[in-house]
Amino acid sequence: LSFVPEDRLGMGLVGNMDLVDNMMLRSYNKGKSLFVDRKKPKNLAEKILVWLNQHYTEQVSLQRIARELSMSPDYVSHTFKKQYGYSPMQYVNILRVGQAQTRLIDTKDKIADIATDVGFNNIGNFNRAFYLLVGLSPREFRKANVSR
């Protein structure tokens, strides 16, 4: 099963929960569907979602998604955003930052290595996306969430 976020990007986080946990809580409170069966996507938006969940650590673009799913880039973007409230690329960044949060807390890996592993092609893009979604830099987040 795959997580499906329902909130907007600039949301505030609840306590010490990470981004994905917060999105799941907010979606649950709204009575929205949180999960999609990977084996049986019911519609085009779910098909896009499953593809994104499988490929978010790779180089992802609307053109690549469209090519691999035999759709136009505009149709991919419109269909996904209409269903989930995020563009496909916003969703990819949410997944990447959520995975980075987990690694920042659970490992001592270098921040640059984490950024690359979760799919960011440079540290500047990672830091910008992380700060936009979490409100802290990756270093500040790690310091606030890791007990010494």
- At 9-62, the pLDDT tens digits run 433 444 445 555 555 444 444 444 545 555 666 789 999 999 999 999 999 999
**Distance of alpha carbon 99 from alpha carbon 147, whole angstroms:** 19
Residue 88 has pLDDT above 50, yes or no: yes
State the pLDDT confidence band at 146, using cuts at 50, 70 and 90: confident
Residue 6 has pLDDT above 60, yes or no: no
**Distance of alpha carbon 94 from alpha carbon 146, whole angstroms:** 21
Could you tell me what percent of the chain has a pLDDT over 90?
A: 69
Write the pLDDT tens digit of every residue in 47-68. Answer: 999 999 999 999 999 999 999 9
**What phi and psi, each to the nearest 5 degrees, are found at residue 3?**
-75, 140
Task: Report DSSP letters for the chain, one per residue.
Answer: -EE---S-TTPPPPTT--HHHHHHHHHHHTT---EE-TT---SHHHHHHHHHHHHTTS---HHHHHHHHTS-HHHHHHHHHHHHSS-HHHHHHHHHHHHHHHHHHH----HHHHHHHTT-SSHHHHHHHHHHHHSS-HHHHHHHH---
As given in the structure block, the two tokens for residue 2 are: 């795959």
**Distance of alpha carbon 141 from alpha carbon 102, whole angstroms:** 11
